[in-house]
């Protein structure tokens, strides 16, 4: 497993910094560590807080693990959907930013071969804001999800989404310094969809930003944890949804 000791240290530092980041942090510091086996197999990530069921978003601190919504994950559709686990990675303007702990889907951003795309036009954006949003969250949970501006269209008008992919800038601001947030294992469901795995069992995951003028979109590489580029029709890259939740 990659950098397990570093993950423990990173998680501990994240917990220590929690109180300084947002007024909606929980003042009670966790006193024990919790080890949780990854939904994608035998991956284990150590965090300093237990997995919580959201009853009050004001009590979620930086680095907290919590369940919110349900989605197929274990690859067995007969036993129903599983609780989706999220990691709190940032706070801003009375809201918290969370990304899924595991890659939930293996999906292209666009089905057009050798053609570029943008977040505005990609098919994955439609999938996340229609099918995923509609089927993953209850009516009560949807009330906590903040509609978020994720860019502008060709005419300069704002794009807004309920569920989105992190941008390159958001990755660099909220994720890049925390190794325990970067390396992402897939669920069994995502594996069954054809996810490309590193030797450590991690996957590359999409960002919503254009990488370069060669029709590449940004990805977080499964081997290095660094930003790279790939064609939007790459079928082995995974999806790690992100949401902003109201927390005041």
| Helices of type H across the chain | 4-16, 123-127, 133-136, 139-142, 168-170, 179-182, 188-192
Structural domain range at position 13: 4-246
Residue 181: exposure state from Cβ atoms within 10 A (0-12, 13-18, ≥19) = buried
If you average pLDDT over residues 73-91, what whole number do you get? Answer: 97
> What are the pLDDT digits (tens) for 164-192?
999 999 999 999 999 999 999 999 999 99
pLDDT score, position 11: 41
- Write down the pLDDT at residue 55: 61
Tell me the pTM: 0.80
How many structural domains comprise the chain? Answer: 1
Among 147, 141, 164, 145, which Cα is nearest to 70's? 141
pLDDT in tens, 111-141: 888 889 999 999 999 999 999 999 999 999 9
201 confidence band (pLDDT: 50, 70, 90): very high
- For residue 97, what are the β-bridge partners? 90, 244
Closest by alpha carbon to 116, among 232, 220, 234? Answer: 232
Alpha-carbon torsion, ordered 59, 62, 63, 64, to 10 deg:
0
Under the banding of pLDDT at 50, 70 and 90, the label for residue 51 is confident
Cα–Cα distance measured from residue 117 to residue 124, given in angstroms and rounded to the nearest whole number: 11
Which residues, listed in sequence order, are joined to residue 114 by a DSSP beta bridge?
none
Q: Judge whether residue 91 has pLDDT over 60.
A: yes
- Dist CA 48 CA 116 (whole Å): 41
pLDDT for residue 107 is more than 80: yes
| DSSP strand pairing (238-239 vs 242-246) | unpaired
């Amino acid at each position: 497993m990659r950098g397990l000791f570093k993950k423990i240290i990173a998680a501990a530092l994240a917990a220590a910094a929690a109180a300084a980041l947002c007024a909606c942090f929980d003042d009670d510091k966790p006193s024990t560590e919790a080890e949780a086996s990854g939904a994608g197999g035998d991956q284990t990530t150590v965090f300093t807080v237990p997995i919580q069921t959201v009853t009050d978003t004001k009590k979620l601190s930086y680095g907290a693990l919590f369940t919110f919504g349900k989605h197929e994950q274990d690859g067995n559709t007969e036993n129903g959907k599983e609780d989706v686990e999220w990691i709190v990675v940032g706070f801003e303007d009375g809201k918290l930013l969370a990304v899924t702990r595991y890659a939930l889907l293996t999906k292209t951003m666009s089905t057009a071969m050798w053609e570029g795309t943008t977040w505005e036009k990609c098919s994955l954006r439609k999938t996340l804001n229609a099918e995923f949003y509609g089927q993953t969250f209850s009516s009560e949970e949807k009330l906590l999800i903040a509609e978020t501006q994720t860019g502008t269209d060709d005419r300069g008008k704002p794009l807004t989404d309920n569920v989105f992919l992190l941008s390159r800038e958001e990755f660099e601001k909220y994720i890049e310094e925390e190794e325990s947030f970067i390396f992402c294992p897939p669920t069994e469901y995502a594996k069954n969809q054809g996810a490309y795995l590193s030797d450590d069992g991690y996957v590359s995951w999409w960002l919503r930003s254009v990488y370069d003028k060669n029709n590449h979109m940004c990805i977080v590489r499964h081997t290095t944890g660094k930003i790279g580029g790939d064609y939007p029709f790459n079928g082995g890259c995974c999806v790690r949804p992100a949401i902003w939740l109201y927390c005041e």
